[in-house]
Amino acid sequence: MATVAALTVMGNARPQLEVHLGAALNVGATTAEIVEVIIQTSLYAGFPASLNAIAALRTVLGARHD
């Protein structure tokens, strides 16, 4: 989750963020927990970076076959 937060704040590492979002889901993080991390980083990252992270999460969730 710390890596997801850091990559969200960076705002320019979408491929890496998508990998870590998938990894977080694989080890048991829930979608709600990930969304909360992204929301909490919006103050530091800015709203556009947070929206980009949400878009990355949607991409990852759409590609999963769970």
Does residue 9 contact residue 49 with C-beta atoms inside 8 Å?
Answer: yes
* 66 residues of the chain, pLDDT tens digit each: 999 999 999 999 999 999 999 999 999 999 999 999 999 999 988 999 999 999 999 999 999 976
Dist. CA 13–CA 66, nearest whole Å: 25
Number of neighbours of residue 46 by Cβ within 10 angstroms: 13
Assign residue 58 the CATH number of its domain: 1.20.1290.10
- Tell me, what's the pLDDT at 30? 97
| Number of separate domains in the chain | 1
Q: What is the pTM of this model?
A: 0.93
Residue 53 sits in which domain range? 2-63
